[in-house]
């Protein structure tokens, strides 16, 4: 049986949350989506609160993944222990709250989701995600395995895709908020896209007010990011996965605008 799995790019601010709440369930119905993973680490523009994570789950996400802003909101830490449907990167130190790898029961069998954080140019004290992914998959018994590789460098994301090709169903990149044009099925049967894009203000610089971003690059003193006004958009990708083999048989990038 072929099922469709939707991965949604980083939710940014209230615009992203509102647009997700408005559009996700109709989209799931229209596209016959069986399982949905949403990256939510920018729901508070920088970081995410427990209330915002619950809002993403209520909007229709089966799993919420995070990234380098996981620890921005301290109140999230106990929630990471309580809620199995939210994952932080698995390569944070083991004493950190929460988990970065979990298997979820579905009507078509178990689905394993792994959240990883890249290290190139990201100021995060993490283990190397490559040997960690190897270790996590060493005794894998789950056919459908999905990996959110939250990273800055396209090269690091592409390398992870090829590293895991044939061992997982899909690898997608998050963090850079700009959807890439390389959606593909790799030779070993793993679906891949370097970046899903962003769910948030459509007319922005990565979700932020364009004038604020311009002033930053002109050298103005730093200040708290403000989300851009205006209409929203949702970006991501749909992976068609064979439940018998776990292989991906098609990837379609997705963009929904107001």
Domains of the chain: residue spans and CATH: 2-257 (3.60.21.10)
Instruction: Report how far residue 11's alpha carbon sits from residue 148's, in angstroms, rounded to the nearest whole number.
Output: 14
Q: What is the pLDDT of residues 71-122, one digit of tens each?
A: 999 999 999 999 999 999 999 999 999 999 999 999 999 999 999 999 988 7
Report pLDDT digits (tens) over 3-51. Answer: 999 999 999 999 999 999 999 999 999 999 999 999 999 999 999 999 9
Q: Is the pLDDT of residue 124 over 80?
A: no
Report how far apart, in Å, the C-alpha atoms of 178 and of each of 6, 144, 207, 235, 253 are: 17, 26, 10, 9, 12
- How many alpha carbons fall within 13 Å on the CB side of residue 195? 19
pLDDT at 121 (0 to 100): 81
What integer is the mean pLDDT of 173-181? Answer: 97
Cβ atoms of 25 and 234 closer than 8 Å:
no
Q: Which pLDDT value is given to residue 155?
A: 97
Question: pLDDT of 193-250, one tens digit each?
Answer: 999 999 999 999 988 898 999 999 999 998 888 888 899 999 999 999 999 999 999 9
pLDDT at 223: 85
At residue 256, the pLDDT reads 97
Mean pLDDT calculated for residue range 151-155: 96
**Catalytic hit among 69, 150, 175, 177:** 69
- Assign 3-class secondary structure to 111-137: EEEEEEECCCCCCCCCCCHHHHHHHHH
Active site (annotated) includes residue 69? yes
Nearest residue to 252 (alpha-carbon basis) of 29, 95, 33: 33
Confidence of residue 139 (pLDDT cuts 50, 70, 90): confident
The two tokens of residue 179 are 């959807």
pTM: 0.96
Average pLDDT value over all residues in the chain? 96
């Amino acid at each position: 049986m072929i099922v469709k799995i939707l991965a949604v790019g980083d939710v940014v601010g209230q615009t992203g949350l509102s647009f997700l709440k408005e559009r996700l369930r109709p989209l799931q119905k229209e596209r016959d989506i069986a399982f949905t993973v949403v990256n939510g680490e920018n729901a508070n523009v920088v970081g995410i609160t427990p209330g915002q994570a619950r809002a993403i789950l209520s909007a229709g996400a089966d799993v919420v993944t995070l990234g380098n802003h996981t620890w921005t909101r301290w109140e999230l830490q106990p929630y990471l222990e309580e809620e199995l449907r939210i994952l932080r990167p698995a390569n944070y130190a083991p004493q950190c709250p929460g988990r970065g790898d979990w298997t979820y029961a579905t009507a078509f069998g178990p689905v394993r989701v792994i959240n990883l954080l890249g290290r190139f140019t990201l100021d995060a004290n993490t283990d190397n995600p490559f040997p960690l992914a190897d270790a996590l998959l060493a005794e894998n018994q789950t056919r459908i395995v999905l990996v959110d590789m939250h990273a800055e460098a396209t090269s690091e994301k592409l390398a992870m895709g090829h590293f895991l090709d044939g061992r997982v169903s899909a690898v997608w990149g998050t963090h850079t908020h700009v959807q890439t044009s390389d959606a593909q099925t790799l030779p070993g049967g793993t679906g891949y896209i370097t970046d899903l894009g962003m769910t948030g203000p459509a007319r922005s610089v990565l979700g932020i007010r364009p004038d604020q971003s311009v002033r930053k690059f002109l050298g103005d003193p730093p200040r708290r990011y403000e989300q851009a006004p205006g209409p929203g958009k949702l970006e991501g990708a749909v992976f068609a996965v064979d439940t018998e083999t776990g292989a991906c048989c098609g990837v379609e990038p997705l963009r929904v605008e107001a």
